[in-house]
């Protein structure tokens, strides 16, 4: 009873890390606290579900359709809905509060649209649900595949952010938007790109999660909450922090569910969240002075 | 036009007396509408009591409301009514104290995130407790409390919220909170114990919400964690307070009245599209009226005064 939850926990943690990386881009670079984040994940899951059941499209090919769509939609959301708030905000705190409230409304609209189309029922589809033996533990192939894809996407993002000029510019905005402007970085377009990238990441998370989890129109809030917790635990804007915190969360949930009680996973998550915040308010890898 | 204090008090007393007569003249539909209005007035005013001056956005309203309602569901038939209300008040206060002490030292955004999930957390704990310890999920509430009595109790609670709001505004605590809202760093430098002030007000605001939930519980005959901790309540209260304006004590009321009526109408006519419409309403408010109706009205009044002055 140790290896199995360990493997499941790593898969789940990998998903959380991937999803949180997108949120840390949106919050760290674009300074938008996006409460409708999980809704994009669920929308992507429904999108790939629809492509798979209606058009017979392989979910991994669906990734190539859904993720670019999410990139474009997120970019539009930033340009149309959020830019007026950015212009209006006098301080960073004001923008944070305004973005929380606006994306809150967006959460309800997206959720409502999905409820009208799909209802409140749970959905899942069967894709590669073949048992595979890893180190003497049986695990479904779709989980392993999802984990592999999450690792590839995460690594690609990490390399893109650390090894390219554009990635460095994004990180510079995350560290200090005012100084970034001084070295000729267009902060607003960087913010729009980061917001779009975040949307693409969470959509890829949604596609991968839909391969092995059941989902419904109301579940987005849960993912938003967990992504936020991971981002804050890891330190805002820190990719490595998101990875470590995501794994911690995934492992904690799985072990609490198998060893103690599945009904207490959220309580465990919150306890860890609170402890980390009280001991290190800046997050595990965050810089102090925030 | 400045009114003297005795005139104001007399006016307020007359208004309350007039409102107390509502159950005698209203039919059952209007009475239930009046109860909704009072319910949201208490919740939104209590929310603004804390969030207005401190600018900490709390999304935990329904956590406390649900605690109150659930206490009644568990103890309502066992103990006398005033005692049940007191116990609910006690539980709500303790939970608020724990949450406040743990989170209010953190920066505002972390507080939003924590309260965002608090209702969900409490709901999961209550569900876990009911399933594993008492082995019942969902309870029936059969109490000897009439709709009229619920209305009067809520009216009393409304008066208490407003009295508390007025007293706080005139006290040192109110001044301290306004300084915190303007600049927390400055507040700390001039020797205000910011954590203590925030926790005190958070607890007070939460205790009103808890008692409100307890009073409302007999409105439902059946209650389960999903009903008691329905997150939509927190959102509705937030929208109402924001629409009305949180920087005046009467501000939330200006949002409660139109939005309660609007929600009632939407829920009755477009139950399937309720979520979309409430989201759109929310965004419109955030974009169009950032300071609420009260802020807008004051701005217009000021402009008018300026124009009429020579």
Domain range annotation of chain A: 15-218
Cα three-residue angle B201-A100-A276, rounded to 5 degrees: 65
> Do B95 and B237 fall into the same domain?
no
The verdict on a CB contact (< 8 Å) between B116 and A228 is yes
B287 in contact with A, Cβ within 8 Å? yes
Assigned token pair, B27: 């039919």
- Tens-binned pLDDT, residue by residue, of chain A (290 aa): 677 778 888 888 888 888 888 888 888 888 888 888 989 999 999 988 888 888 777 878 888 888 899 999 999 998 888 888 888 877 777 787 788 888 888 988 998 898 888 877 888 777 776 777 777 777 777 787 888 888 888 888 888 888 888 888 878 787 777 777 777 777 788 888 888 989 999 998 888 888 888 888 888 888 888 888 888 888 877 778 888 888 888 888 888 888 888 778 888 888 888 788 777 777 777 664 43
Last residue of a domain, one of B230, B256, B274: B230
- How many independent structural domains does chain B possess? 2
- Among residues A104, A81, A286, which one has the least CA distance to residue A195? A81
The verdict on a CB contact (< 8 Å) between B275 and A109 is yes
> Do B244 and B109 fall into the same domain?
no
- Strand stretches in chain B, DSSP E: 139-140, 222-223
d(CA B235, CA A104): 9
Chain B: residue whose CA lies nearest to A281: B106
B134 in contact with A, Cβ within 8 Å? no
Q: Using CB atoms within 10 A of its CB, is residue A30 exposed (0-12), middle (13-18) or buried (19+)? A: buried
B289 in contact with A, Cβ within 8 Å? no
Q: What is the ipTM of this complex?
A: 0.78
> Do B155 and B225 fall into the same domain?
yes
pTM across the whole model? 0.83
The verdict on a CB contact (< 8 Å) between A108 and B231 is no
> Do B54 and B89 fall into the same domain?
yes
- Per-residue pLDDT at B309: 57
B242 in contact with A, Cβ within 8 Å? yes
CB pairs under 8 A between A and B: 111
The verdict on a CB contact (< 8 Å) between A84 and B282 is no
> Do B132 and B202 fall into the same domain?
yes
Q: Give the H or E element holding residue B48.
A: helix B28-54
> Do B173 and B90 fall into the same domain?
yes
- Per-residue pLDDT at A9: 84
Last residue of a domain, one of B188, B210, B230: B230
> Do B80 and B158 fall into the same domain?
yes
A229 in contact with B, Cβ within 8 Å? yes
Chain B: residue whose CA lies nearest to A94: B55
B177 in contact with A, Cβ within 8 Å? no
Residue A215, SS3 per DSSP: strand
> Do B58 and B193 fall into the same domain?
yes
- Among residues A160, A175, A164, which one has the least CA distance to residue A29? A175
- Per-residue pLDDT at B84: 86
Shortest Cα–Cα distance, A136 to chain B (Å): 33
Shortest Cα–Cα distance, A24 to chain B (Å): 14
pLDDT in tens, B278-308: 888 888 888 887 766 766 777 777 776 666 6
Last residue of a domain, one of B206, B230, B254: B230
d(CA A208, CA A228): 19
Closest CB to B282: pick one of A104, A111, A228: A104
> Do B85 and B212 fall into the same domain?
yes
Query: Could you tell me if B102 and A270 are in contact, meaning their C-beta atoms sit under 8 angstroms apart?
Result: no
User: Mean pLDDT, 10 residues at a time, over chain B (310 residues)?
Assistant: 73 80 79 90 92 84 92 84 88 90 74 82 84 78 82 90 88 82 81 84 93 89 84 85 82 87 86 85 81 70 64
Structural domain containing residue B111: 26-230
- Report residue B310 CA to chain centroid gap: 43
A277 in contact with B, Cβ within 8 Å? yes
B29 in contact with A, Cβ within 8 Å? no
> Do B191 and B277 fall into the same domain?
no
The answer to whether residue B121 is domain-embedded is yes
- Per-residue pLDDT at B307: 63
The answer to whether residue B101 is domain-embedded is yes
The verdict on a CB contact (< 8 Å) between B275 and A111 is yes
B109 in contact with A, Cβ within 8 Å? yes
pLDDT in tens, B222-281: 888 888 888 888 888 988 888 888 778 888 888 889 888 988 888 888 888 888 888 888
Residue A140, SS3 per DSSP: strand
- Per-residue pLDDT at A290: 38
Could you identify the residue written with the tokens 């970019």? A75
Restricting to A residues 93-132, those with a Cβ less than 8 Å away from any Cβ of B are 93, 96-98, 100-102, 104-113, 115-116
The verdict on a CB contact (< 8 Å) between A225 and B120 is yes
> Do B207 and B187 fall into the same domain?
yes
The answer to whether residue B21 is domain-embedded is no
A83 in contact with B, Cβ within 8 Å? no
Backbone angles phi, psi at B247, to 5 degrees: -95, 5
B112 in contact with A, Cβ within 8 Å? yes
Closest CB to A225: pick one of B55, B117, B235: B117
- Per-residue pLDDT at B177: 81
Closest CB to A105: pick one of B113, B274, B286: B286
B110 in contact with A, Cβ within 8 Å? yes
Terminus-to-terminus CA distance in chain B, angstroms? 19
Burial track A69-104 (b if 16+ CB lie within 10 A, e otherwise): bbbebbbebbeebbeebbeebeeeeebbbbbbbbbb
> Do B222 and B305 fall into the same domain?
no
Cβ-based contacts of B105 with chain A (< 8 Å) = 281
Closest CB to B110: pick one of A88, A232, A266: A232
Closest CB to A267: pick one of B114, B125, B283: B125
Shortest Cα–Cα distance, B29 to chain A (Å): 28
Chain B: residue whose CA lies nearest to A98: B286
A84 in contact with B, Cβ within 8 Å? yes
């Amino acid at each position: 009873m140790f290896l199995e939850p360990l493997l499941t926990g790593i898969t789940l943690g990998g998903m959380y890390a991937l999803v949180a990386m997108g949120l840390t881009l949106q919050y760290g670079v674009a300074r938008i606290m996006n409460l409708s984040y999980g809704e994009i994940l669920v929308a992507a899951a429904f999108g790939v579900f629809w492509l798979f059941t209606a058009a017979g499209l392989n979910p991994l090919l669906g990734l190539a359709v859904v993720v670019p769509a999410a990139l474009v939609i997120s970019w539009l959301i930033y340009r149309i809905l959020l830019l007026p708030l950015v212009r209006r905000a006098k301080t960073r705190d004001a923008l944070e509060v305004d973005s929380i409230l606006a994306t809150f409304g967006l959460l309800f609209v997206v959720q409502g649209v999905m409820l009208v189309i799909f209802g409140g029922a749970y959905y899942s589809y069967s894709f590669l649900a073949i048992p595979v033996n890893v180190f003497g533990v049986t695990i479904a192939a779709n989980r392993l595949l999802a984990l592999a894809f999450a690792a590839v996407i995460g690594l690609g993002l990490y390399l893109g952010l650390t090894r390219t000029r554009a990635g460095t510019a994004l990180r510079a905005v995350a560290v200090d938007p005012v100084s970034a402007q001084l070295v000729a970085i267009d902060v607003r377009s960087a913010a729009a790109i980061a917001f779009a990238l975040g949307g693409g990441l969470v959509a890829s998370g949604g596609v991968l999660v839909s391969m092995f989890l059941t989902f419904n129109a109301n579940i987005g809030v849960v993912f938003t909450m967990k992504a936020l917790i991971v981002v804050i635990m890891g330190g805002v804007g820190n990719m490595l922090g998101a990875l470590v915190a995501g794994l911690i969360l995934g492992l904690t949930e799985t072990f609490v569910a198998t060893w103690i009680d599945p009904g207490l996973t959220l309580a465990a998550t919150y306890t860890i969240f609170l402890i980390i915040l009280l001991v290190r308010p800046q997050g595990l890898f965050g810089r102090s002075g925030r | 036009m400045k009114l003297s204090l005795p005139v104001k008090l007399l006016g307020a007393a007359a208004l309350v007396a007039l409102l107390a007569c509502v159950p005698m003249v209203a039919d059952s539909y209007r009475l239930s509408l009046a109860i909704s209005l009072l319910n949201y007035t208490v919740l939104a005013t209590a929310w603004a009591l804390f969030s207005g001056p401190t600018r900490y956005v709390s999304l935990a309203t329904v956590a406390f409301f649900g605690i109150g309602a659930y206490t009644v569901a568990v103890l309502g038939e066992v103990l006398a009514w005033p005692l049940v209300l007191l116990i609910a008040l006690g539980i709500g206060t303790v939970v608020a104290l724990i949450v406040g002490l743990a989170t209010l030292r953190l920066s505002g955004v972390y507080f939003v995130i924590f309260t965002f999930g608090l209702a969900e957390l409490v709901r999961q704990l209550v569900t876990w407790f009911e399933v594993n310890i008492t082995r019942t999920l969902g309870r029936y509430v059969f109490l000897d409390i009439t709709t009229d009595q619920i209305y009067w109790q809520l009216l009393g609670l409304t008066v208490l919220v407003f009295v508390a709001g007025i007293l706080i505004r005139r006290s040192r605590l109110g001044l301290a909170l306004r300084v915190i809202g303007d600049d927390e760093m400055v507040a700390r430098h001039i020797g205000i114990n910011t954590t203590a002030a925030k926790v005190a007000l958070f607890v007070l605001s939460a205790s009103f919400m808890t008692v409100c939930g307890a009073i409302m519980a007999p409105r439902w005959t059946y209650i389960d964690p999903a009903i008691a901790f329905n997150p939509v309540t927190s959102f509705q209260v937030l929208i109402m307070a924001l629409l009305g304006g949180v920087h005046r004590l009467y501000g939330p009321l200006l949002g409660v009245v139109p939005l309660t009526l609007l929600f009632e109408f939407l829920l009755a006519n477009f139950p399937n599209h309720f979520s979309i419409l409430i989201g759109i309403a929310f965004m419109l408010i955030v974009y169009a009226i950032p300071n609420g109706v009260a802020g807008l009205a004051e701005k217009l009044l000021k402009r008018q005064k300026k124009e009429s002055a020579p």
